[in-house]
Homo-oligomer: A and B are copies of this chain.
Amino acid sequence: MSKTIPYKIYLSEEEMPTTWYNLRADMKNKPAPLLNPQTLKPMSEKELEAVFCAELVKQELDNDTREFEIPREILDFYKMYRPAPLVRAYCLEEALKTPAKIYYKFEGNNTSGSHKLNSAIAQAYYAKNQGLKGVTTETGAGQWGTALSMACAFLGLDCKVYMVKISYEQKPFRREVMRTYGASVTPSPSRETEVGRRILDAHPGTNGSLGCAISEAVEKAVGTEGYRYVLGSVLNQVLLHQSVIGTETKIAMDKYGIHPDVIIGCAGGGSNLGGLIAPFMGEKLRGEADYRFVAVEPASCPSLTRGRFAYDFCDTGMVCPLAKMYTLGSDFIPSPNHAGGLRYHGMSPVLSQLYHDGYMEAVSYPQTDVFEAAERFARTEGILPAPESSHAIKAALDEAERCRETGEEKTILFGLTGTGYFDMYAYESFHDGKMTDFVPTDEDIEKSLSKLPKVEG
């Protein structure tokens, strides 16, 4: 029977989703509102519009509309790199000698190398539609910046990326991909912004940080006519756009009568996990079906497994709104883990609320275990996974190996968010036995949590 399911399921254009699913509509406990960092009052639509595009603010604040129609132009762009294949991991199952059935949704078949493009094109589209000239953003390792550059190139929109200085210098490849797509890439801190100049004057030799790059990008957007700031994860709007991952997956699974018992995704800011689980979680919330959901995070940055559910700043510079989420404290500095995309102190408010309400589990792994899983996966399934994605692989392998012991024929689904082509230094350190694991102590975490802002709620 099972061999009647192809190795890879590609939806036809007619089968592809035409709406984004808004998980918040089915949540009894809605995610808490963003707060103004000055007044600590909920951000109004108007306040948010100074930073974000108007249409995106509407999506951010709308906890009720269940389906959002995807504009035709975005659907056309999606057709350039979607559908993403749902892969039946026959080779991995055989290698593991597990009775489990393993599926993964592979989002790496595009030049940004990850799922980030799904939201980048949406955000760029609404910016263009509003008549804006351009958008600003920050990037660390560069996945989000690359995705945004591609979307902006397609729409003829200016794209200004503040890239953490040390990445700009030590990881020139993604910088060059962004330049190929016409983005202007500035090492941060720069002298282009007040906050950048202030930091440079105080710390002339600084390597920069994501927090500083965010502050520069926001300052530039707010201070430049015709520009807005865009962000690649955490926000409700981003999870909305990323629901296309889960909806495509569910259509493919329904077509072949597949019911996943457990759904696994890596979680940094939560955009991939939130997107992958959305329609399945919706069914669970509505009592129509049951699934287990597992968020996987690095042991070095364990916001769900060891953080606190509280209001906190989204950035280290404390210029962005506050969100109620699982957080390690905006002051928390994760060790230099190679999964750059998971080095975030907080977690999407939607996912945080669901986790808090008991709808989801979370686990964490040290990175050497993760790279070992990555290599096993690469050798059997061919795809070279990103370090971020490999967290989900590790959890899926563990689950499949438990099935081997118990004999359970579980169906496992995980999100393979991207490829590791730009992470070969990390693989090299793993091959050479030089990779180390850093797990923060309770004191480390308590220390940064002690500085959480005092907010009711």
Residues of chain A touching chain B, judged by Cβ–Cβ distance below 8 Å, are 6-8, 10, 12-13, 76, 79-81, 90-91, 109-111, 113, 150, 153-154, 172-173, 176-177, 179-182, 374-375, 378-384, 419, 421-422, 424-425, 427-428, 431
What residues on B are CB-neighbors of A12 within 8 Å? 6
**Docked complex Cα distance between A374 and B428 (Å):** 29
Q: Is the CB of B173 within 8 A of A421?
A: yes
Q: Is the CB of B383 within 8 A of A154?
A: no
Q: Is the CB of A111 within 8 A of B378?
A: yes
Q: Is the CB of A180 within 8 A of B7?
A: no
Residue of B nearest to A91 (CB): B80
**Docked complex Cα distance between A282 and B116 (Å):** 43
Q: Is the CB of A431 within 8 A of B154?
A: no
Q: Is the CB of A177 within 8 A of B384?
A: yes
Q: List 20 A-B contacts (CB under 8 A).
A: A6-B13, A7-B13, A8-B79, A80-B382, A81-B382, A110-B382, A111-B383, A111-B384, A111-B419, A153-B379, A153-B380, A154-B379, A172-B428, A173-B424, A176-B428, A177-B427, A179-B427, A180-B374, A421-B421, A421-B422
Q: Is the CB of B80 within 8 A of A154?
A: no
What residues on B are CB-neighbors of A180 within 8 Å? 374-375, 378-379, 384, 427, 431
Query: Whole-angstrom distance from the CB of A183 to the nearest CB of chain B?
Result: 11
The list of the 8 closest CB pairs from A to B, nearest first, reads: A7-B79, A173-B424, A153-B379, A176-B424, A421-B421, A111-B384, A176-B428, A10-B10
Q: DSSP class of A's interface residues: helix, strand, loop or mixed?
A: helix
What residues on B are CB-neighbors of A374 within 8 Å? 180
**Docked complex Cα distance between A11 and B318 (Å):** 51
What residues on B are CB-neighbors of A81 within 8 Å? 382
What residues on B are CB-neighbors of A10 within 8 Å? 10
**Docked complex Cα distance between A181 and B10 (Å):** 27
**Docked complex Cα distance between A415 and B435 (Å):** 40
Q: Is the CB of B382 within 8 A of A7?
A: no
What residues on B are CB-neighbors of A154 within 8 Å? 91, 379-380, 382
Q: A176-B424, A421-B173, A427-B180 are in contact. Are A80 and B6 (CB under 8 A)?
A: no
Query: Whole-angstrom distance from the CB of A70 to the nearest CB of chain B?
Result: 15
| Cβ 8 A contact of A379, one of B79, B172, B182, B425 | B182
Residue of B nearest to A422 (CB): B421
What residues on B are CB-neighbors of A8 within 8 Å? 79
Q: A173-B424, A177-B424 are in contact. Are A111 and B80 (CB under 8 A)?
A: no
What residues on B are CB-neighbors of A111 within 8 Å? 378, 382-384, 419
Q: Is the CB of A79 within 8 A of B177?
A: no
Query: Whole-angstrom distance from the CB of A410 to the nearest CB of chain B?
Result: 22
What residues on B are CB-neighbors of A13 within 8 Å? 6-7
Considering residues A81, A154, A176, A425, which has the most beta carbons from chain B within 10 angstroms of its beta carbon? A176
Query: Whole-angstrom distance from the CB of A338 to the nearest CB of chain B?
Result: 13
| Cβ 8 A contact of A382, one of B150, B172, B176 | B150
**Docked complex Cα distance between A176 and B173 (Å):** 16
| Cβ 8 A contact of A378, one of B76, B91, B181, B419 | B181
**Docked complex Cα distance between A154 and B378 (Å):** 9
Q: Is the CB of B172 within 8 A of A7?
A: no
Q: A179-B431, A180-B384 are in contact. Are A80 and B378 (CB under 8 A)?
A: no
Query: Whole-angstrom distance from the CB of A77 to the nearest CB of chain B?
Result: 8
Q: Is the CB of B172 within 8 A of A80?
A: no
What residues on B are CB-neighbors of A381 within 8 Å? 80
Q: A91-B154, A181-B378 are in contact. List 19 more A-B contacts (CB 8 A).
A: A6-B12, A7-B76, A7-B79, A7-B80, A76-B90, A110-B382, A110-B383, A111-B383, A153-B379, A154-B382, A173-B424, A176-B424, A176-B425, A176-B428, A177-B421, A177-B424, A177-B427, A179-B428, A180-B374
